[in-house]
Amino acid sequence: MPNLQREWKARAYAKVNLHLGVGPMRDDGFHELSTVFQSVNIYDEITLRIRDNVLDRGKSPVAGPLKITGPTAAGVPTDESNLVWKALDRLALHIPLSYPALDVEVHKQIPAAGGMAGGSADAAAALMLAQKLYATFFELEIASADILQEIAADLGSDVPFTMMGGTALGKGRGEVLSPMLTRGEYHWCFIASAQGLSTPAVFKKLDEMREASASAGDGSLTPTLDVTDTAQALVSGDVHRLAKVLKNDLQPAALSLRPDLRKTMEVGMEAGALTGIVSGSGPTIAFLCEDAAQAEEVRSQVTLEIPKTRGYVASSPAPGVRIY
Ligand code: ATP
Model pLDDT for residues 285-311, shown as the tens digit of each residue:
999 999 999 999 999 999 999 999 999
Residue range 186-316 in CATH 1.20.1250.20: no
Q: Which fold has domain 7-179?
A: Ribosomal Protein S5; domain 2 (3.30.230)
Residue 3 to residue 189: CA distance in whole angstroms: 44
Q: How confident is the model at residue 3 (pLDDT cuts 50, 70, 90)?
A: low
- Which of 120, 157, 277, 310 has most ligand 1 atoms within 8 Å of CB, for mutation? 120
Q: What pLDDT is stored for residue 171 in this prediction?
A: 97
Q: What pLDDT is stored for residue 234 in this prediction?
A: 98
* Ligand 1: residue whose CA is nearest its atom 3: 117
> Minimal CA–CA distance to 295: which of 275, 309, 280?
275
Enumerate the CATH 3.30.70.890 domain ranges in the chain, comma separated.
Answer: 186-316
Q: Poorest-confidence range of 46-50, 112-116, 273-277?
A: 112-116
Residue 243 to residue 278: CA distance in whole angstroms: 13
Model pLDDT for residues 125-168, shown as the tens digit of each residue:
999 999 999 999 888 888 999 999 999 999 999 999 999 999 99
pLDDT at residue 2 tops 70: no
Model pLDDT for residues 52-97, shown as the tens digit of each residue:
988 888 899 999 999 999 999 999 999 999 999 999 999 999 998 8
Enumerate the CATH 3.30.230.10 domain ranges in the chain, comma separated.
Answer: 7-179
Contact 122, 74 (CB under 8 A): no
Contact 267, 220 (CB under 8 A): no
Query: What is the distance in A from the centroid of ligand 1 to the CA of 310?
Result: 17
Residue 114 to residue 197: CA distance in whole angstroms: 7
Q: What pLDDT is stored for residue 138 in this prediction?
A: 86
Give ligand 1 pocket residues (Cβ under 6 A).
76-77, 82-84, 106, 112-120, 122, 158, 196, 199, 280-281
Q: What pLDDT is stored for residue 300 in this prediction?
A: 98
Cite the annotated binding site by residue number.
Answer: 111-121
More confident residue, 193 or 2: 193
Cite the annotated binding site for ATP by residue number.
Answer: 111-121
Q: What pLDDT is stored for residue 251 in this prediction?
A: 97
Q: How confident is the model at residue 214 (pLDDT cuts 50, 70, 90)?
A: confident
Contact 90, 136 (CB under 8 A): no
* Ligand 1: residue whose CA is nearest its atom 12: 113
Model pLDDT for residues 238-283, shown as the tens digit of each residue:
999 999 999 999 999 999 999 999 999 999 999 999 999 999 999 9
Classify residue 200 as exposed, middle or buried by CB count within 10 Å of its CB (0-12, 13-18, 19+): exposed
Strand partners, 49: 7, 103
Residue 112's CB is within 10 A of a number of other CB atoms, namely: 18
Return the HEC string of 38-71. Answer: EEEEEEEEEEEEEEEEEECCCCCCECCCCEEECC
Residue 8's CB is within 10 A of a number of other CB atoms, namely: 18
Query: What is the distance in A from the centroid of ligand 1 to the CA of 164?
Result: 18
Ligand 1: nearest atom to the Cα of 110:
10
Query: What is the distance in A from the centroid of ligand 1 to the CA of 284?
Result: 13
Query: What is the distance in A from the centroid of ligand 1 to the CA of 122?
Result: 9
Share above pLDDT 70 across residues of the chain, in percent, rounded to a whole number: 99
Model pLDDT for residues 156-198, shown as the tens digit of each residue:
999 999 999 999 999 999 999 999 999 999 999 999 998 889 9
Annotated catalytic residues are 15, 158
